[in-house]
Chain A
Amino acid sequence: MVVLWVVASLVFFSTSLLPGDFAQRTVATNLELADYSEALKEARRLLGLDKPVWERYATFITNTAMLDLGTSYDSRRTTWVELGRHLPPTLELGALITLVAFSVSIPVGVLSAVKQNTWVDYVLRTFAILGVATPVFFLAILMTLVVLKFDLFRIDIVGSPHLWDDPAGALKLYSIPAISGGISGGAGIMRILRSQMLEVMRNDYIRTARAKGLNDRTVWVRHAMKNAMLPVLTVMGFTIAGIVSGQIILENMFNIDGVGRYLFTRLLIRDFPPFQGIVLVIAAVIVTTNLLVDIAYAWLDPRIRYT
């Protein structure tokens, strides 16, 4: 809770530091000078932007505490409604990115560890290191180039079809951002998983498992991988934060009307209530994830006891 309060204050004060406000960015600039400043004043009064910072901060914090995240200056809809409108595409893309990230990184990480110091390991590790170093937008551009070059399919970035209504269209649109985002996120997971696998494989219980005659696959998957996944879980909060950052870029690139792009445009037009609200929601998700991870950790690994 304290963390969320600090986040809220940080967001509030940094947004109030930004030059320009919504009134200034949107009031018609073709008015005569006198009319313009009048209109500006009027707009600010209507939006409550004429009040001093401390007063606005007090209202903001009390409203937020009551889960009222304010109303968009732009659409006059509440932040929750806006979030509801923009969440579906983001969740769809986010789910696909996560799916790709884990389905790539887990087998690759395990394989790379069990084949340590063979050419398989070297090739996979090189890809992982490259994946970490490549910006997600560059990956997306390279994939777009491949699609264009071989004329695989048309990338239609006008209008965003939903996964449920139009699966084929949505998958076409989402394929590139999902795969590039997934590779970006998965590369990091793979590196952690590999080094953890190597550590786990040195343990006595792995030798025991082998000694009782289990085959390699069972040892790797049942005994080693399960334990190596724990540290991967630990960084779940960071993984989510990374995926959100990636989605801001990818949604902007592919014109997907999700939360990431909405957040970015709110900042550009200085429509702060939904911006602050959504940032807080994201922060809450990350904080909760970290908390859940801590709890899950103790549950998954009985050696850990919090006192």
Chain B
Amino acid sequence: MASNDTVLPAPTRAIAMLPRRRSRMRQAVLLARRNKLGAAGVLGMVLILLIALLSPVLQRYGDNQVFQTANPEFRATATAIEIARNPRLSTPFIQDRFQAPDWEHWLGTDQFGRDIYARIIVGTRLAVIIGIGASLIAVLSGTVTGLISGYFGGRVDLIVQRVVDAVQAFPGLVLLLLLVSIMDQPNLPLTVAALGFLGWAASTRIVRSAVLALTASPFVEAARSYGATDLRVMVQHVLLNVLAPIVVIFSISIGLYILAEASLSFLGLGPADKTTWGKMVNSGRNSLDQNPWESVFAGGAITLAVLAFNLAGDALRDELDPRLRGR
């Protein structure tokens, strides 16, 4: 019997001689070896996402649960005069404030006797929701306006670009402070929306410039010439070709939003009813000299999370669209 080589028609043989397509797993490993920092970032990001997802399991205690111990000095029968002399007589429990890390409280406790570890874990979930939520809003809205502005040009483009210019002429934090002040007590959706609005300007600009480069290209003209509607050309021919920069902006700016939200919370204008890292850094600041734990752990959490998301975003950018480097 003849060997396979003689039986197969020529083109098939040529394909068979090509190196076998590498499996996805193998590709990922090669990629990771080439870009070690990026791989570390992706790993960190996956870890953070896991912590955020599993936070109810991992946090051990409630984030607002106050730990206290019975007060040995407490006397229910103490008279008003005795209490005036020694106020500790009147309180049956003392909060376990400012405990150093131990087995019961892995990262210690804060000024109200709350478990810092539990609060960090809950803060992880908030940071992830805020980072991804804001980035999603920014990218979706920026894609729509950038697409319209770049595709139609003319007056629409002019108006949109002036608004973008105006937003970018603000120092980001001032605009954020202004936006979240719309409510007396800013809540989570408002914070996410404000961050998203800030990011809208930048993503509009990037999508627009990508779209501008495309609308002049022959295949768009071809699509137009066979009578495709504007909407069809925009979505099927332009949008699908600018997806790479869109995905890159999305992933690369998550870290920025986490950082910005931390600044807001640090200044006391973050989501009012939620436990966030920025708030923790701020509350720990009052007792830095004796109890740096809260500030240091929460600040470290912010840094690590932003670092992981930034590295992962950078790696994705280098793979998808290296031209965006430096933006």
Contact = CB atoms under 8 A, between A and B. Distances in A.
Interface of A: 2-4, 6-7, 10-11, 14-15, 17-20, 129-130, 132-138, 141-142, 144-145, 148, 192, 195-196, 231, 241-242, 244-245, 248-249, 252-253, 263-264, 267, 279, 282-283, 286-287
Given A14-B182, A231-B326, A241 B288 contact: no
Interface in B246-270: 255, 259, 262-263, 266-267
A270 to B, nearest CB: 9
A3 B266 contact: no
Which size class do B's interface residues fall under? 35 or more
Contacts of A20: 184
Interface string B161-190: 011011111111110011101111000000
B303 interface: yes
Contacts of B263: 135-137, 245, 249
A249 B259 CA distance: 13
A137 B163 CA distance: 30
Contact of B173 (A15, A18, A148, A245): A245
B302 A267 contact: no
Contacts of A3: 162, 165-166, 169
B302 A144 contact: no
B307 A7 contact: no
Interface in B299-327: 299-300, 302-304, 306-307, 310-311, 325-326
Nearest to A122: B37
B113 interface: no
19 contacts: A3-B162, A3-B165, A7-B166, A129-B37, A133-B310, A134-B303, A134-B306, A135-B299, A136-B263, A138-B299, A138-B300, A141-B296, A142-B296, A196-B326, A231-B326, A241-B170, A245-B173, A249-B173, A282-B170
Nearest to A7: B166
Given A3-B162, A141-B295, A133 B171 contact: no
B172 A145 contact: no
Nearest to B170: A283
A138 B174 CA distance: 19
Nearest to B185: A19
A195 B171 contact: no
B285 interface: yes
A4 B162 CA distance: 9
A135 B266 contact: yes
B174 A282 contact: yes
A17 B182 CA distance: 6
A241 B172 contact: yes
CB-CB nearest 5 A-B residue pairs: A138-B299, A245-B173, A6-B166, A133-B307, A133-B306
